Structure 1
Amino acid sequence: MKENNFKNKTTVQLLSYLMMIKTITGALIFIIILLLSVTIYGMATREGNGTSVALFVVGISCSATLPLQFMNMSKIKAELKLRKKN
């Protein structure tokens, strides 16, 4: 597995990577919320619709990637903070 070594990257690269992660995470949160709200509405209004249940499971499983994104953001912020001290 590839190790995320942020010490070998420049500050500009880290800032651009942080901005990219923030943008992707924000879009992912928006899409997950939209998917979950549509599927909950579908489960509440229709009887016996297996598609809504399946999409609900997909939305929940996609939200499992969010903690990894937040951990990467915190690692980058810590590295940038360390560089500002020095």
Structure 2
Amino acid sequence: MLKAIVLGATALLGMAIIVTSSAQAAVVCNEAGDCWRVKKKHDYPNRAQLHIYGDDWEWDQAQADRYRWRDPGEGRGYYRDGVWITF
């Protein structure tokens, strides 16, 4: 009985970690239309002028010429003028 309780609690904890981790993912876009996916939301500097959306956000067809996907750079950062700026 105790083994079943411990096993159940461990499974619930594992599920909670997965849900919490995925809930922090986001899409970040700058004013120039560069967008990238992040696994963890950061506190970006105000000067970066970024928009942060939910992980499932995508632009619609009418906005296709405004936005473009970028690969996130190394470490914590953002795009400005096509260059990855770390902070």
TM interval, shorter chain, is 0.3 to 0.5
**Structure 1-normalised TM-score?**
0.37
By relative contact order (CA 8 Å, sep 6+), the higher-ranking structure is 1
Higher strand residue share: 2
**Structure 2-normalised TM-score?**
0.36
Higher helix residue share: 1
